[in-house]
Chain A
Amino acid sequence: MQKFISCILVLVLVLFIPTLVLAQHKYSLSGTVKDKQNGELLIGVVIRLEENPRLGTLANEYGFYSLSLPEGNQTIVVSYIGYEVQKIKLNITNNLKLDIFLEPSSVAIDEVVISDKKSDENLSTPQMGTEVLNIKSIEKLPVLFGEKDILKTIQLLPGIKSSSEGNSGFSVRGGAVDQNLILLDEAPVYNASHLFGFFSTFNSDALKDATIIKGNAPAQYGGRLSSVLDIKMKDGNNQNFVTNGGIGLISSRLSVEGPIKKDKSSFIISGRRTYADLFLGLTEQFRENELFFYDLNIKANAQINKNNRIYLSGYFGRDILGLSDNFNTNWGNASGTLRWSSIMSKKLFSNTALTYSNYNYDINFKNEVINVTVRSKIQDWNLKKDFSWYISDNHFIRFGTNTIHHTISPTTINGNLSSSFARKSRTSLEKAIYINDDHKVTNKLTLSYGLRLSAFTILGGDTYNIYENGVLKDSVQLAKGDWGKTYFNLEPRFSSNYRINQVSSFKAAYSRNTQNLHLLSNSTSGNPTDQWIGSSYTVKPEISDQISLGYSRNFDDNNYEINTEVYYKNMQNQIDYRNGADISFNAGKDIEADLLFGRGRAYGLEFIAKKKSGKLTGWVSYTLSKTERKIDGINNNQWYNSRLDRTHDLSVVVTYLLSPKWTLSGLFVYNTGNAVTYPTGKYEINGQTIFHYDSRNADRMPAYHRLDLSATYEAKKGKKLQGSWTFGVYNAYGRQNAYFIEFQDNPDREGTTRTLQTSLFRWIPSITYNFKF
């Protein structure tokens, strides 16, 4: 297998050799870009030649850049959102290494700049369906309970929908919640939510930025169908010690960062804990109950020498819920990343990461007779080797490998009651090799094309049953150490950008993605007990093919930006389960016997208009979309709406700088209700009313809309202690949005039924104090 992969890599490289020959009579300029004040590496900084603005590059996600320049005197322009533009005059006579330090701009900090760089980057990159969120920029947006949350902010972008009210689970372009690859410093996060989804596991204080790619990810990403959300933690200030903190209604946060050795190494420790339970503890009734969660992010980095740096980061988060002694549960993620970045030459940058991820839960039920613990776990060891090769100013190549070892321990119950079917942990190996070329074909045409070969191997240690339509056909016994079936998938990725003129461009992309880990869930919001399973002899890898077309236009010297995309996505081997199947801990011998398989399709139009600078900034985003499934055994094998099919989805986000001290912010969302199944009639069984259903998800929840407002007051800058107050109100006009709708016997009028709507959040005020010293 390894040999086969190497062969392909060599073959692909050979195809690129001719381009190397073209790269003569030029010298390379390379280095890193950092924040001058805190030494943080900056991602996505634009470096351009003033004399020829088409000649330019972006600093990669590790802050490294490399650019081929012609001989002679020239000026490079370095720009990045929130920083002063820097012009550097150079006389290029040989290869040059240049580390650039950018000064944060005093004005831009007060702007909510949503994505991108204040430039025409959106017109020149072939990358489609991508948004970069700078964490600093989302600080002032109103949020539920004042808890700023990256997962909720991305839901305001086109094509990204929340799974339910106030929920951090999200669906991208009609995909399922488990089809998003969420990476925290390269380590996958399996359950990105706290408290049944109302909060995400990401403490903004510890984060640098986040990039979401909606299905057209370049070849270095893989493993999920719908999207990649790549979140990077801050590296830590390597100049000064800084303490950041915040006190809110729900939680408090504190983070400390500083140099270990100035300029050479730094650290950051960031923690967050909710404290509703501390107040509850004051009342007699609640004293014996616990309900809280915490997050801890730790990161340190050290420079080994001029060209090599290592990073160590970790995340630990846990939810704890206890009701007297009867019911105790905790769940959470732990992840760790050891990363080594190396500037191997002027043109070659490498990044090696070893990551560990673990998600598990533990539930204990106890009373006079029963004392049991229910457990499940998913654990990954992941080794990534990635190279960035700046061959010439026309070609930028990314290639590398990735190997993940998965261990999935299915839900088991132990104690004085135990499962009658001992279920073993299953292990698997997921490998990938990829290569991607960003190719500037002409001044107007830019292509990004790549290939990813993924291989998923079932490892021994358990017996695998093979089912066809739920009927056992055969079984395969794999001893420990045996290698079972391997699924190979070749995933082509292609995107292109054609610059029509100075202010507009046209884009087109196609990509295939595959997924070998699948989440079985019986709710849309995501319960901590949802079960991951790997591809097996019965469960095939999910495959999606997406094509998209886009048009972008900028106005007023790139101050306004409009991006429109249309997409069509076809999904194979989608998974659901049989009606009446028990997938929890009292499941039978093999969950796979109850699974059903089918197809999915999704298509839509996305539109976003942004105003990127000035006193008033913000965006309007609109999505018109459809997403459907066709699963054998559901809805008479006919196409039906996926639950998160929402025809219209609108978000308006506005921030207004009222004075140097006051910033006002507001957001409005409107969307068509989720597709649901309402009863078409009723009948009686065992003396109880039972509802009758016809087509699945043919009905609609009521439309959802909401307005949130906030105001932030910042005291004068320049003092040692900088403080700010944020006041907010969520759902300002108190709309009763349906969280769920129940049909039931009417207790007030016997012999009739009624429809009951439950709404959650109305007029939720919040107040948060943030400080920094």
Chain B
Amino acid sequence: MKKLIIVSAVSLLTLTACEKEIDLNLENKSGQLVIEGNISDKEEPHIVRVTRSVAFTQANQYPAVSNALVIISDNLGMIDTLKYTSDGNYNTEKLKAGVSGRTYTLKVLLDGKTYTAQSELPEKVPLTGLKLIPMTFLGNTNYDVLPEYTDPPTLGNNYAFIVRANSKKGIVFEIESDNLGNGVANQRDLDIPEDDGDSVKKGDIVYVEMRSIDKNIHTYYTAVNQLTSNGPGGGISPANPPTNISGGALGYFSAHTSQILSIVVE
């Protein structure tokens, strides 16, 4: 929302901004190891995905790594060796639902190197409902969506919200924490992604997934989101988000709670 406002303000003034596609002859580096591990409190196989990066000019097809040894353990002695399925995905076998308060450790062994990460599954904060908030901007009415939950009184809760419209690929990924509004009912609404270039309209369904995430993942996602914000003058100097995986891989390992609710636009 904020970015939209700033960009609109500037274009209101200038009415002259123009965009064009350019070719920059970028340095092409590929083959960096990428590990994306998620454990939720849902009863389901949890997936660790191991892929490699590609050059900018290549298609968005990321080579799967199928020969890694992927192990997840917890602080109570559970050890699960994940099974490779396809497309770089390794599924848990023993570990069904993650449990709040437990610390999970991920180990990936590949080509003689070990990559490790830890994440503590935070307490669950119930998502009780969704509410659509009309926003009028330049004569058009759009909607934001408000996830309804009450933050627990102790400080240190971090959240990620994933918003989808009609199950389309575009998502809005927003990161919050109780640095604001500790212990109170949530007041912060979320943008809804465009559905095929249009704002959501009557009859569309909006899905919101709420995750309670740990501090490291909060920092990681905050950095990811900063990479994509530009603003006048061109935003921050981009850098790789600070991963919680040691050993030199890109990506993250997150143990989190997960709840999904949906609402129909009326």
CB within 8 Å of B: which residues of A?
Answer: 163-164, 167, 195-198, 276, 280, 284-286, 288-289, 291, 321, 323-324, 326-327, 367-370, 372, 413, 416-421, 522-527, 578-582, 585-589, 634, 643, 676-694, 696-697, 699, 702, 736, 738-743, 745, 751-762, 764
Contacts and interface: CB of A to CB of B under 8 A. Distances in A.
A324 B232 contact: no
Nearest to A594: B219
Given A413-B180, A692-B53, A683 B18 contact: no
A164 B176 CA distance: 31
Given A369-B146, A676-B234, A755-B21, A417 B32 contact: no
Interface of B: 5-6, 8-10, 12-14, 16-24, 26-30, 32, 34, 36, 51-56, 59-62, 131, 133-139, 144, 146, 155, 162, 169, 171, 173, 176-184, 187-189, 219-220, 222-224, 226-227, 230-242, 250-252
A327 B59 contact: no
A681 B53 contact: yes
A693 B233 contact: no
Contact of A523 (B144, B184, B232): B232
A695 to B, nearest CB: 10
B260 to A, nearest CB: 15
Contacts of A580: 219-220, 222-223, 226, 241-242
A751 B29 contact: no
Contacts of B234: 164, 523-525, 676, 739-741
A367 B138 contact: no
Interface of A is mostly: loop
A367 B169 CA distance: 28
A100 to B, nearest CB: 46
A761 B14 contact: yes
Most-contacted residue by chain B among A523, A588, A682 (CB, 10 A): A682
Contact of A586 (B146, B180, B239): B180
28 contacts: A167-B233, A196-B6, A284-B139, A326-B136, A326-B137, A413-B180, A419-B180, A421-B179, A526-B233, A677-B238, A680-B27, A682-B53, A683-B32, A683-B34, A683-B54, A683-B251, A684-B36, A684-B62, A685-B36, A686-B162, A688-B173, A690-B241, A690-B250, A691-B227, A742-B230, A751-B61, A760-B17, A761-B16
Contacts of A416: 187
Nearest to B33: A683
A697 B237 contact: yes
Contacts of B177: 586, 588
Given A682-B60, A742-B230, A757 B19 contact: yes
Contact of A289 (B20, B55, B138): B138
Contacts of B251: 683, 685
A680 B56 contact: yes
A681 B28 contact: yes
Nearest to A752: B59
A367 B135 CA distance: 7
A167 B233 CA distance: 9
A525 B227 contact: no
Contact of A741 (B17, B24, B32, B227): B24
Most-contacted residue by chain B among A740, A755, A756 (CB, 10 A): A755
Given A197-B232, A687-B169, A736 B20 contact: yes
Given A522-B236, A755-B21, A369 B32 contact: no
Nearest to B151: A420
Contacts of B220: 580
Contacts of B241: 579-580, 690
B6 A280 contact: no
A692 to B, nearest CB: 5
Nearest to B132: A368
Given A522-B236, A524-B233, A685-B224, A679 B178 contact: no
A369 B148 CA distance: 11
Given A367-B133, A369-B189, A643-B237, A418 B180 contact: yes
A55 B159 CA distance: 74
A368 B134 contact: yes
B131 to A, nearest CB: 7
A760 B179 contact: no
Contacts of B5: 323, 327
Contact of A756 (B19, B53, B54, B178): B19
Nearest to A731: B16
A372 B155 CA distance: 21
B19 A198 contact: no
Contacts of B23: 755
Contact of A420 (B19, B155, B252): B155
Nearest to A523: B233
Instruction: List the 9 shortest-distance A-B pairs measured between CB atoms, nearest first.
Output: A525-B233, A580-B223, A420-B182, A740-B234, A683-B53, A680-B29, A580-B219, A285-B139, A681-B53
Nearest to B225: A580
Given A285-B139, A586-B177, A587-B179, A759 B17 contact: yes
B245 to A, nearest CB: 12
A420 B180 contact: yes
Contacts of A757: 19-22
Nearest to B140: A285
Given A324-B136, A699-B24, A738-B22, 12 more contacts: A164-B232, A368-B133, A369-B187, A413-B180, A420-B155, A684-B34, A684-B60, A691-B227, A739-B233, A740-B235, A757-B22, A759-B17
Contact of A762 (B16, B189, B224): B16
B187 A755 contact: no
A198 B24 contact: no
Nearest to A761: B16
B16 A740 contact: no
A418 B187 CA distance: 10
A293 B57 CA distance: 44
A432 to B, nearest CB: 33
Contacts of B12: 276, 280, 286, 289, 291
B54 A681 contact: yes
A585 B169 CA distance: 31
B32 A676 contact: no
A696 B188 contact: no
Contact of A417 (B131, B187, B232): B187
A708 to B, nearest CB: 15
A108 to B, nearest CB: 36
A760 B18 CA distance: 6
A739 B36 CA distance: 34
A760 to B, nearest CB: 5
A285 to B, nearest CB: 4
Given A580-B223, A684-B34, A739-B17, A751 B59 contact: yes
A676 B237 CA distance: 7
A417 B180 contact: yes
A751 to B, nearest CB: 5
Contact of B233 (A164, A417, A684, A689): A164
B226 A682 contact: no
A696 B178 contact: no
Contacts of A581: 219, 222
A177 to B, nearest CB: 10
A369 B133 contact: yes
A761 B60 CA distance: 33
Contacts of B22: 702, 738, 741, 755-757
Contacts of B235: 522-523, 740
B8 to A, nearest CB: 8
A367 B189 contact: yes
A52 to B, nearest CB: 53
A524 B237 CA distance: 10
A632 to B, nearest CB: 14
B230 A195 contact: no
Contacts of A756: 19-22
A264 B60 CA distance: 76
Given A280-B12, A291-B12, A681-B30, A323 B137 contact: yes
Contacts of B135: 326, 367
Nearest to A198: B13
A585 B2 CA distance: 13
